[in-house]
């Protein structure tokens, strides 16, 4: 997840901003044209997608978003809760799309829960207990995203490290796979993972943008570690991510993710002749991520899609 304003803009799931916006979304035919292979978005924040979409789209539930705007081969998504407010959302926003219980009841949606490094300063016993309540739900498949972010430093680094380790211990206690956020913190991330995580643990390093050398180091050490690739791979500036796809990560260790509502694939806004832009992403845009990986690796898109689907089963059991 990228940096966001964690103050919610809804009350009872209805009063989203009605400001005029240039936001548009690709039609289902565009998304369906690339591949018919079934897929899972392994890391998304669809509650923020609904929060950001203007009211004119009429998308008030996750099911409406899926039916109207996602291709039919979207099988499932893993919706990631990483803001401490989300852990009490069934009390703060009961019955709305921000309520984690509503998410868990959505047929195509699974959950992951963990405190993001941006929010490490807010971590305490109460937050941990609320998080663990969600982690014990049968549809919660992982703990995360957790880790270190030295780019923004929204929480002190020593606090980030302490909270990272504390949550790893909870994951081990609850036997949950880990979803890792690491940005510009390679040395400390490596030290903590290798000291505190069993070598055979299932790990998803989400939205990998660090160095190819670090990716190789992680892949070589942890046999059940997967690298998550988002729409960032479609950006001209994403040289590290593209090189990792080209020459570091094998197909059997790649996961596809959108990190929605962030990381909109670049192609969706290329050569636009109007002021409208796709400014909000969603799980149905995964085929554009796979298309770029296919281009870089000189493989068919369906090969990428099938490998990623198999890897999702291995990582998450879904």
Contacts of 109 (CB under 8 A, 6+ apart): 46, 62, 76, 77, 78, 79, 103, 139
Residue bearing tokens 């689907």: 309
CA distance to 9, 22, 143, per residue, from 177 (Å):
31, 39, 6
181 is in an annotated binding site: yes
259 is in an annotated binding site: yes
Q: How many residues does the chain have?
A: 318
43 is in an annotated binding site: yes
CA angle, 176 then 178 then 182, to 5° = 165
Contact 269, 300 (CB under 8 A): no
Q: How far apart are CA 68 and CA 70, in angstroms?
A: 6
Contact 148, 182 (CB under 8 A): yes
Q: How far apart are CA 169 and CA 173, in angstroms?
A: 6
Radius of gyration of the chain (CA): 18
Binding residues for a divalent metal cation, by number, are 43, 45, 145, 181, 206, 259
Binding residues, by number, are 43, 45, 145, 181, 206, 259
């Amino acid at each position: 997840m990228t940096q966001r304003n964690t103050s919610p803009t809804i009350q009872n799931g209805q009063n989203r901003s009605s400001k005029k916006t240039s936001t548009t979304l690709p039609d289902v035919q565009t998304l369906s044209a690339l591949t018919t292979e079934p897929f899972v978005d392994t890391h998304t924040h669809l509650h923020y997608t609904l929060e950001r979409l203007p009211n004119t789209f009429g998308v008030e539930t996750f099911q409406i978003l899926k039916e109207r705007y996602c291709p039919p081969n979207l099988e499932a998504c893993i919706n990631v809760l990483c803001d401490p407010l989300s852990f009490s959302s069934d009390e703060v926003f009961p019955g709305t799309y921000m309520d984690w219980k509503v998410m868990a009841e959505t047929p195509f949606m699974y959950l992951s829960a963990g405190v993001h490094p941006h929010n490490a300063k807010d971590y305490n016993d109460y937050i941990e207990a609320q998080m663990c309540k969600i982690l014990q739900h049968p549809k919660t498949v992982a703990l995360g995203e957790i880790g270190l972010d030295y780019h923004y430093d929204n929480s002190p680094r020593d606090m980030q490290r302490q909270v990272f380790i504390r949550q790893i211990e909870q994951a081990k206690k609850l036997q949950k796979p880990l979803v890792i956020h690491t940005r510009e913190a390679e040395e400390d991330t490596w030290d903590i993972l290798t000291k505190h995580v069993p070598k055979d643990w299932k790990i998803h390093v989400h939205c990998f943008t660090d160095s190819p050398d670090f990716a190789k180091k992680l892949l070589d050490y942890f046999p059940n570690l997967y690298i998550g690739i988002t729409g960032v791979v479609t950006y001209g500036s994403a040289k590290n991510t593209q090189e990792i796809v080209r020459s570091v990560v094998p197909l059997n260790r790649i996961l596809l993710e959108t990190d929605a509502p962030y990381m909109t694939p670049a192609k969706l806004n290329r050569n636009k002749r109007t002021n409208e832009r796709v400014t909000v992403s969603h799980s149905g845009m995964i085929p554009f991520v796979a298309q770029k990986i296919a281009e870089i690796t000189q493989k068919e898109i369906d090969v990428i899609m099938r490998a990623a689907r198999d890897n999702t089963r291995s990582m998450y059991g879904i």
